[in-house]
Structures are given as C-alpha cells and as structure tokens.
Amino acid sequence: MSLLDVKNLRVTFATETGLVEAVRGVSFSLGHERLGIVGESGSGKTMTGRAVLRLIRPPGRVQADAMTFDGQDILAASEREMRALRGKRIGMVMQDPKYSLNPVMTVGRQLTEGLRLRDRLGAADATAKAVAALEAVQIRDPARVMEAYPHELSGGMGQRVMIAMMLIPEPDLLIADEPTSALDVTVQAEVLSILDRLVRDRGMGLIFISHDLRLVARFCDRVLVMHKGLVVEEIAAANLLQAQHPYTRGLLNCLPRIGGPRGPLPGLDRTGAWATEGRT
Amino acid sequence: MSLIEIENLSVVFRAKGRDVRAVENVSLSIDAQESYGLVGESGSGKSTILRAICGMAPVSGGMIRIAGQPVPTPRGRAFSTQVQMVFQDPYASLHPRHTIDRTLAEPLAIHGLGDRDSRVVQALTDVGLPPAFRFRYPHQLSGGQRQRVAIARALMLKPKILLLDEPTSALDASVQAEVLNLLNRLRAELGLTFLMVSHDLAVIDHMCDRIMVLQHGRQVEELTRDDLAAARMTTPYARSLFDASADRMLDSPTEPAR
C-alpha cells in the first residue's frame, strides 16, 4: 500500500494582480521509496512539499481531489490532527538553516524541545537523545554544537542540525526541501547516505526536492520533473539521462561538464508547446 | 609578466581572542586574459583570497601585486578601475532601495566620470538587459537579471580584472548557463582576466584554464584544465573532490554511492 497519495493537487494564491496558480494539478503516490521532485525556482516543487503538510497559509489555498497519508485524509484533518502528524509522522527539512532555526535559542534547546514537550522526556534523557541525533548526522563535536546558537554554525552544520531535529521523532515520511544545496560536495554525500540508510533500514518514505537534476538522478528511485506548477515528466531515476521531454533534456544539457566542450552552453529553449501547456 | 601575483599570502582573523588562519601561504600568478579558478569546500579560504585582494580581508603576510605593483592600502580609486568583484548572492549585493540606474551610476559619480546616461545604457546592453531596466528596483528583477546588473556594475569603470565569487551558485541551472555564457563572451570581447571561485568543479572546468584546489586555507594542488578532464590529480583531496562532484554522478546513475 502506498504511504502517500496525492490526486490533482492545486495550490493557488489570491494576489492583488489576480489568482496565481503555484501548483496546477499534481498527482503522485509514494511508497517506501525515494521520490525526487526537480524543477527550477517557481516550478511549484516547494509548494507541493508544503501542501502535503498543509503548511500553506492564507491567502494561499490548497485543493485536491484526494490527499491521503497512511489511510488518513489530510485535507479533512483538523488542525489538531495535523499537529499530531507534523514532525512525528511526517517530517520536513527546510531549505535554509539561517531562517528555519530559532536564532535566539541554543541548538540544544531546539533539539530537546520536542522531546520534552511531545515525548515528555526528562532533561537528561532528552539531551542524550539529541546528542545521539547530532552524532548520527556526523557532527564531530556534539557537546559544543548543543551549546551553540545557530549563527555560530556554518551553513552545513546548520543543515545537519535541522536534519537531526527532523529525524529524532523517527517519521514515516520525510520531505526534504533542498536539504543539501547549502552543503559542500563531500558533506552532501554524507547527508545523502544518512537519508539513504533511513529509507533502507526503517522503510521511511522520502520526498527529495531539489533543483539539481544530477543529484536526484543519482540518489532517488523515481523523479517528477516540474515546470510552472505542472509535472511534465515522471521517470525512473536510472533512465533520467534518456529522458524524452524537451524541458528535462534542456535542464540536463545546460549543465557544464568536466572535460565538456568549451563553447557556449545551450540555453533552455522555452518556445516549445510544453512551455505554455495548460496556461489559460 | 603576470597580471596578478600573489606570494605567500596569509590572512589571519582574530576571533574571541584566538587566531583563525583563513589563508596560509598561498601563492599563485595569473597572466593577463587568463581565467583562473579557485575550488574548495566552505572554509577553505577561497573567497577570503578574493576579499584580501580587494582589501576586504586583512593581509597578514605575503604580497599581492597587480601588474607588477604592490596593491596600496587602502586600495583607492586607481585600484577600483583595475579590479572589480562580483558577489555570490545577487539578492544581497544590490542596494534594495536604489534603482538600477543609481546603482550603475554610483561608480561614475565617485570617479567623476561624465556621460552618465549613455554609459549606463551601454552597460545594460552589454549584459543583455533592455535599457528600460534602468528605472527598476532590484526586487523587480529575477535572480539572473540581478546578477547581470551586478556584472554590469563591476564593468562600469572598465576594469581589466574581474574577481568572481561563486557568481552562479544562487541561480537555476538554465540561468547559470546564460550567466556563464555572458561572462565568457565579455571576457573575449573586453580582454578581461578572471579569478573565479566556485565549489562546483564542473563550472570551474567550463570557465577556467587553470585551477587551484584549496583546503583549510592551504593550497593543495594546481591543475590545468586538461589535467582535470583526464583526472590527473596527484593529491587524494583533489581526487575526493573530483569523485564527489555532482557532474560525475551522471556517468554512473545506475551505481549510486551507498
């Protein structure tokens, strides 16, 4: 049985200049696997991830024919029921640690807050669990990081702290929004292997949102390619290089390659029929 | 003679009573019209080298020479007509309350250059933006357009050297391609010399003739473009960077690193 089912998801924002459709009818289902969502900025990939957690605030509106997580209807759930899902069953790693961690709380307090309030652990147990989580994301000096404020950490460290925070409640589904974009390539590989182990060992489902096609091709099982709120192509990651859709091909071709030709990089041709598809 | 010469450069910051050695004993020389790349992870000191050249980081030891002359401290106006910098984040490097026109005209005003209108229009045209963009504010532009404005601003004083600090890492892949193409075209047309920093080996490889790999503020290895393409690196660190490069992932999508 699939973990998450989304049918015809739409996210719209009413703005002064009219209705903006950020997501325009996205459907997918997710099992215990790694699903990648790729696209450029503004393609609606982040909004798709946030809609699953109903984290879109007015004037944004989320509509769908169906959206179920583990048999539970997310659209019909009360705010109270959503709170029980968020974090504990569905975790989300946000894009930017600079804006997503509380700047006036030490990392230790942020990591233990959920454990103490939700799981009603004592201070010592919560601290021990938080330290273990930091170790699990390869932070070498967890005692120092626990005492540090977010501004005292590098981007990569902050990102790992956020991943540790999301993994503490052991969610069944993790939505990772550009979790490795701020990281160096070698740290990136470490973080990906941590996520990979969780999918394999614990059967966690993973939605991996990224703008980096190469990364997604290597790391995920299946890929949704989004453009302007629509899924233009769904493809097994292993076949991504053989993708047929002109948008996917364009995204792949405009990346420079080591030892590649020196001439101008091919730009993305936005004149195809797909570029205006579904626009009214 | 080399246009940019850096000899045993060290940069030491004093933080909380202890010394942080951001750059230690780095030496490099770049010929006129060459494109030189610095690669390394965050904290490797690659951006600090650019900032030290511009006088935005303290030079604690060693020597920086531009066209044979040691750089003065403070850098002064003559320096800014030779060397300009393009920063990583076009969302942060343009003044949010200044129009593009004012941003581009500011270097002209500082240097007492006339002919302001035609120079601003020319600068916008050079970077492929419509002249009407003069009257916009940064928030009315996309990331790629903003980075074009930042490049235009750097070129206002007709410098010979551009220091590029991760100029495309905040941009989408398709926009990155456009900006890289623009930089290459400008380099050819204006005979510019590039010193470029990036963590993306594929971008550096596309743009640069020679690269230097840095780690913890020290130089690890200098490679030519051919060495990089043929994977002829001699140090284990340079090889690990090469192997972890996202570009390499495309070659073996069926064997993910597990």
Query: What are B27-67's pLDDT values in tens digits?
Result: 999 999 999 999 988 778 888 999 999 999 999 999 999 99
> Is A43 in CB contact (< 8 Å) with chain B?
no
With a pLDDT cut of 70, the percent of chain B lying above it is: 95
Count each helix (H run) and each strand (E run) in chain A, helices first: 10, 11
- In DSSP terms, which residues pair with A86 in a beta bridge? A90
Segment (H or E) for B194: strand B193-198
> Is A113 in CB contact (< 8 Å) with chain B?
no
Angstroms from B57 CA to nearest CA on chain A: 19
Split at pLDDT 50, 70, 90, the class of A201 is confident
Judge contact between B173 and A211, C-beta under 8 A.
Answer: yes
Q: What Cα–Cα distance (Å) separates residue A42 from each residue in A211, A227, A228, B225?
A: 11, 8, 6, 35
> Is A135 in CB contact (< 8 Å) with chain B?
no
Segment (H or E) for B26: strand B18-30
pLDDT digits (tens, 9 = 90+) for B195-232: 999 888 889 999 999 999 999 899 999 999 999 888 88
**Count of beta carbons in the 10 Å neighbourhood of residue A29:** 13
Which stretches does DSSP call E strand in chain A? 4-15, 18-30, 34-38, 60-63, 66-69, 72-73, 90-93, 173-177, 205-210, 222-227, 230-236
Angstroms from A219 CA to nearest CA on chain B: 6
Split at pLDDT 50, 70, 90, the class of B247 is low
Judged against a pLDDT cut of 60, whether residue A279 lies above it is answered with: no
Q: How far apart are CA B108 and CA B110, in angstroms?
A: 5
Q: How far apart are CA B64 and CA B50, in angstroms?
A: 11
What is the pLDDT averaged over residues A142-153? 87
> Is A242 in CB contact (< 8 Å) with chain B?
no
Domains (range + CATH), chain B? 4-245 (3.40.50.300)
For chain A, what are the domain ranges? 1-89+173-256, 94-170
What is the pLDDT averaged over residues B89-106? 92
Q: For residue A255, which residues of chain B lie inside 8 Å, CB to CB?
A: 173, 177, 202, 247
Angstroms from B152 CA to nearest CA on chain A: 20
Split at pLDDT 50, 70, 90, the class of B249 is low
Segment (H or E) for B220: strand B218-224
Question: So what's the pLDDT on residue A42?
Answer: 82
Q: How far apart are CA B157 and CA B1, in angstroms?
A: 23
Token pair, residue B237, equals: 């660190």
Judged against a pLDDT cut of 60, whether residue A111 lies above it is answered with: yes
Question: So what's the pLDDT on residue B256?
Answer: 40
CATH number of the structural domain A1-89+173-256? 3.40.50.300
The angle formed by the CA atoms of residues A85, A90 and A93, to the nearest 5 degrees, is 130
Angstroms from B52 CA to nearest CA on chain A: 21
Q: Counting one residue from A and one from B, how many pairs have CB atoms under 8 Å apart? A: 115
> Is A211 in CB contact (< 8 Å) with chain B?
yes
pLDDT digits (tens, 9 = 90+) for A222-265: 999 998 888 999 999 888 878 888 888 888 888 888 888 778 88
